[in-house]
Structure 1
Amino acid sequence: MSLNPYQGMKLVGQWSVYGVTIALPREDVRWMLPDGLELGDQDLTHRDTHPVSLYFGHVRDAHMTFPRFFPPEMTYFEQVVGVPYVYAKRPLCGGRVRGPFFYMPRLFLTNLLATLGGILFWGFPKKLVRVVEGTNPARTDGSYAVCPLYGGGDEILGLQWGATGAFEPATAVPSFQRQLEIMTQPLVSQQPLSVGPLLSCSDFDKLWREAEIRPLRTKTNIQEAFVPGLAPGRYSSEGIDQSPTGAFQLRAPWELSLPYCCGRGRAPGAAPNVPSIW
């Protein structure tokens, strides 16, 4: 019997996501962080910049492992703005680990229950929106637009993408290893209700032995300044097969742990967990 009765309680599901990395001035990215966090060193982009991850995702069959039927399986769109290589400015409860973490200053969702649950339990700054997605019959190119929930209105941000290669195992693509490094950093959020002053962490792990990716050529259009430091602009990206900061489409099962004291998280470089209950 497990010594921790809550270890098996996780949110699990399937994820298909278009991933884009943009490099912004470090001074701008600092504005995206709350007072208790700061940017750490990284060598993925130029030393005067810092990477920002944009994930345009489709979540399928999301549900808790226990109780199994609450909430019912949810399928929705979720767009994420994330800052990797983030560290705590002060000691954290539970241990000495102070980073690196992945902080998300904004998440846009199309599901009310998932939005409320993310805010109340995990402290994620989620907001309800509409997403308009389009693709050709062969699913080799398409678009993803995040729009205000009510009214017509212009899109808040959007993505145009075209596949430049076939799907293959994620672990077989050398240039994807830097993105995998980012995607295994614990998520850090503010508690309660995503406003602080406390910090909590959670592990958003993918089942990497089943994950597959393909390279994309993308154009990202940010229309509104919806996050401090993230100015409107247009960004073009080559594929992940060309650069560690290249764009990609990832398909993988995932699990999200319950929040925990960040100091008890895995140490830098530690191997990620894999889903244990499905």
Structure 2
Amino acid sequence: MHGVGHYLCTIVVLPLDAGLVESWLPDELELAPQSITPPGTHPVNILFGDERNVHINIFPFFHIDYMEFAFVIPFVQWKQTKNAYRGPFLFTPLLFLNKELPILAGKILYGYPKRKAVMTSVDGHYRVVEEGKLIISGDFETTAQHPTEAEFATLNSLLQQPDISQSIFGPFVCAVFDWNLTPAKITARQANIDIVAGLLPNQPELKQAVGGFDFSQGAAYFLDTVWTLTMPMPCGWLKDGE
């Protein structure tokens, strides 16, 4: 049994201060080594997403559409090697959704820190409003540029890692999110984003214009894919290579 969904998403990758990014992790986790962004920085995937036809594979007739914004930190590992697989992982410290059911399911099953917001996406203009205040905006233009083989390999490495989160019941749980990137449609975008300060501890306002596949300095691209997500499992079940 696993989750399935059709994802239409603009992903902005920013190199942020490594100390700041690490402060968003639980005490048991730390940033793993990476060579994509410059020393002293760490990449963060910022997802402006539209989820469609999300369902459990054995219940295909019960599905839901919703919007989802997320900060996803790649290249995270255990501080202490507790299991055969130390990392890297994806860790998600911030999520906004516009519907209650996926918020509740994500919190109960995975411990995801999902928050409710009013969200819209019209003609490349993405907005997130919380308690009547505009907190996130993204304005996007698609280009005809597709990733080169090397750019695709970098993009894949930023996304295709096991997911780790802390259950509301206490223990950490892991899951395998398959982005199904090989057949996915991927094109570069020009992005202008504005994210208010303070959504995460000490997070400054992020007001930037980025585009293309230069992941070392800042990138933006559109992803159209069908993903699968396993049910949560003990992290000790993961092995190197997953």
TM range (shorter): over 0.9
Match of 2:172 in 1: 199
Spell out the pairing of 1:60-99 with structure 2 (5 A cutoff). 60-69=52-61, 72-92=62-82, 95-99=83-87
CA distance in 2, matches of 1:25, 1:59: 30
Residue 142 of structure 2 is aligned to residue 163 of structure 1:
yes
Q: CA deviation at 1:37?
A: 0.5
Give the alignment of 1:62-211 within 5 angstroms: 62-69=54-61, 72-92=62-82, 95-135=83-123, 142-148=124-130, 150=131, 152-153=132-133, 155-165=134-144, 173-192=149-168, 196=170, 198-211=171-184
Deviation of 1:243 after TM superposition, in Å, equals 4.8
What are structure 1's unaligned runs of at least 5 residues? 1-8, 136-141, 273-278
Post-superposition Cα deviations, 1:96-152, rounded to whole Å, max 9, x if no partner, equal 1010001000111111100000000111111111112120xxxxxx2111111x4x3
* CA–CA separation in structure 2 for the residues paired with 1:203 and 1:161: 29
SS in 2 for 1:208: coil
SS of residue matched to 2:232: coil
Point out where structure 2 has 5 or more consecutive residues left out of the alignment.
none
Residue identity (%): 29
- Measured in 2, the distance between the counterparts of 1:249 and 1:67 equals 29
Q: Is the 8 A contact 2:72 2:93 kept in 1?
A: yes
Cα separation, 1, equivalents of 2:90 and 2:163? 5
TM-score, structure 2 normalization: 0.93
Runs of 4+ residues deviating >3 angstroms: 242-245
CA distance change for structure 1 residues 39 and 74 in 2, over 3 Å: closer, same or farther? Answer: same
Count matched residues.
241
Secondary structure of residue in 1 paired with 2:233: coil
Contact conserved, 2:14 with 2:219, CA < 8 A, in 1? no
Normalised by the length of structure 1, the TM-score is: 0.81
- Maintained 8 Å contact 2:97/2:114: yes
- SS of the aligned residue for 1:210 comes to coil
Deviation, 1:237, is 0.9
Structure 1 residue 173: deviation in Å?
Answer: 4.5
Letter in 2 for 1:122: Y
Asked whether the 8 Å contact 1:186–1:203 carries over to 2, the reply is yes
The two structures, once aligned, show a CA RMSD in angstroms of 1.8
Q: Does the CA-based 8 Å contact 1:12-1:64 persist in structure 2?
A: yes
The whole-number CA distance in structure 1 between the counterparts of 2:77 and 2:182 is 29
2:43 pairs with 1:54? no
